[in-house]
Amino acid sequence: MSRSGRTDGKTMGWMDLLAFGRAEIMALHKTWIAFFITFYVWFNMAPLASTIMKDTGLTLDQLKILATCNVALTVPMRVIVGMLCDRLGPRKTFCLVLWSMAVPCVWFAFATTFTEMLISRLILSSVGTGFVVGIAMTSLWFKPRDTGFAQGVEAGLGNWGSSLAAITMPILALTVLGSWRWSVALSGIVMFLYGVYYWFAITDGPKDAVRSVARKAQAIEVSTWGDLLKAIIWTIPIVGVLSLVVRTVTKKGFITPDMSYTLYAVIVIGVCYQVWALLKVNIPILRKGVPDDDKYRFTQVGTLCASYVVTFGAELAVISMLPMFFQKTFEMTPVMAGLFGSMFAVLNFFSRALGGYVSDRTSTRKLAHMIYLGGVTGGFVLMSFINAQWPLIIASLAVFVCAMFVTGGCGTTYALVPFVKRRITGNVAGYAGAYGNVGAVVFTSAYMFLTNSQFFLMLGISAAVVFAFCAIAMKEPEGAFAQEYQLSSVDEELMSVKVS
């Protein structure tokens, strides 16, 4: 029997999701629910923006600062959590995320000052790391031929958390519980309880399977000296982008220049530590020499990082502002604006899974990815023309088309992640995921100084640049770990360590 439990040699399809008796399908469902809850908590603030402003007296600038902080720490934390997945396993790592992030969620719910809200939201931004863990867990349960589709389903359903938050948080706050604070706190409590369930409900892959473990947990491993330089270049923005958050907050007058200098110093130390860790891990490996069959091109990681900037990064930025955009542009109530604003993310299950499915079924994964990047470019350019004179149904259709390509592009991106180097899939997923948040931080920071039309146009131009980069630098994965189909359990035992 294959690792995925199939004996018929067929690839996984949509109807397989209903096969609840299969262990890998149940693992998929348990994992997307965990991911779903983290995204629900992550985006439980945006649909309540106007309510929070009215209740607490926050200004629009303060709310935008909170939206920026809401994606800030996810950037470096996705890399760290990716490394933990490769060392501890995704089950333990996911539970740590679910438990620890419940604390700042409840803290934000009952914060009484802007400073408390700022700090708690900044810490809570780390909850976005749940995506990396879900990708790592899915890669352990499914074979390469099904990985793109399975990860698309997991990520797509998980991303629905932001959509459901946009729809239900206003209802919970204004109708059911009568308090935005208790609505936010309840989401954190549910997340903690699900973490307890997840600890006992799942294992890191099938019980009789094996899990490859990365040799080091401090930094990603590379194959050549040139790749080490590339890794340093691509790693610096993961922490360095936080300086943009500090600059934005300082420019808006929410922290003093003296405090900003201290924060800049901390960021520089963080960047230096990242570079030192890369050198410490890789110099001994490179001096010894990397076997040809263990090499990979770091440029592949770079193309995935860039792709995720303009797909998931843009998605996060748009989700954070879209409910308010609909509310102001078309004079909607908060509940209706949340409903229409959720359209950008509500397609995640279908379109993201479709992107992975298309990538799995086409003869060239690169071509599928390039088509989606082209659609992202056109979709955002189209959205830049939306204004109050547009019929609401036409504006909604434009958002729908753009969302199909953006979320589908996330699926084609992560369908390629396991094909870089399976032993370090967590690290690769962490890098790509982190760059999604690099994009979100850059885009949300830029949004503070742009009109809605300029914002969408900026996203379209960014996608066009990434399209050109991937067209030149991305290579089609050829026969990536296809030999695993022929490996016996004894062979795998010799190559890996058993799941603890």
Q: Write the CA distances from 141 to 5, 7, 207, integer angstroms.
A: 9, 15, 10
φ/ψ of residue 331, rounded to 5: 50, 55
pLDDT at 407 over 60: yes
Q: Write the CA distances from 34 to 27, 42, 204, 353, integer angstroms.
A: 11, 12, 15, 17
Reported as type and span, the H/E element at residue 315 is helix 314-329
Cross-strand pairs, 321: none
Task: Report, as an integer, the average pLDDT of 42-71.
Answer: 83
Highest mean pLDDT of the ranges 19-33, 102-116, 337-351, 481-495: 102-116
**Range in 27-36, 180-189, 212-221, 479-488 with the lowest mean pLDDT:** 479-488
Q: Write the CA distances from 428 to 136, 139, 152, 310, integer angstroms.
A: 10, 12, 17, 17
The fold of 22-498 is Growth Hormone; Chain: A; (1.20.1250)
Show the CA angle centred on residue 10, arms to residues 4 and 11, nearest 5°.
70
pLDDT (0 to 100) of residue 4: 38
More confident residue, 253 or 380: 380
* Band (13; pLDDT cuts 50, 70, 90): low
More confident residue, 93 or 290: 93
The answer to whether 319 touches 43, Cβ cutoff 8 Å, is: yes
Shortest CA distance to 471 belongs to which of 230, 306, 296, 224? 306
d(C-alpha 73, C-alpha 82), whole Å = 14
d(C-alpha 252, C-alpha 254), whole Å = 6
**Range in 107-111, 265-269, 324-328 with the lowest mean pLDDT:** 324-328
pLDDT (0 to 100) of residue 12: 59
The answer to whether 202 touches 74, Cβ cutoff 8 Å, is: no
Entry pTM: 0.73
- DSSP assigned state of 480: T
pLDDT tens digits for range 444-475: 888 878 889 999 999 999 999 999 999 999 98
Shortest CA distance to 71 belongs to which of 155, 152, 162? 162
d(C-alpha 51, C-alpha 183), whole Å = 12
What is the residue whose two structure tokens read 């969302």? 403
Q: Write the CA distances from 88 to 130, 193, 211, 422, 442, integer angstroms.
A: 15, 21, 11, 16, 31
pLDDT at 213 over 70: no
The answer to whether 440 touches 308, Cβ cutoff 8 Å, is: no
What is the residue whose two structure tokens read 């209740």? 55
The answer to whether 214 touches 426, Cβ cutoff 8 Å, is: yes
DSSP-H helix ranges across 424-473: 425-447, 452-473
More confident residue, 20 or 472: 472
* Band (251; pLDDT cuts 50, 70, 90): confident
pLDDT at 333 over 90: no
pLDDT at 495 over 60: no
Crossing angle of helices 392-416 and 314-329, in 10° steps, is 170
pLDDT at 217 over 70: no
Q: What is the mean pLDDT of the chain?
A: 82
Which tokens sit at 226?
């040139």
Q: Write the CA distances from 257 to 248, 253, 262, 269, integer angstroms.
A: 12, 9, 9, 19
pLDDT (0 to 100) of residue 316: 80
**Range in 17-21, 251-255, 308-312, 405-409 with the lowest mean pLDDT:** 17-21
Identity of the residue numbered 124:
L
* Band (3; pLDDT cuts 50, 70, 90): very low
d(C-alpha 404, C-alpha 315), whole Å = 11
d(C-alpha 449, C-alpha 68), whole Å = 13
d(C-alpha 138, C-alpha 465), whole Å = 31
pLDDT (0 to 100) of residue 80: 82
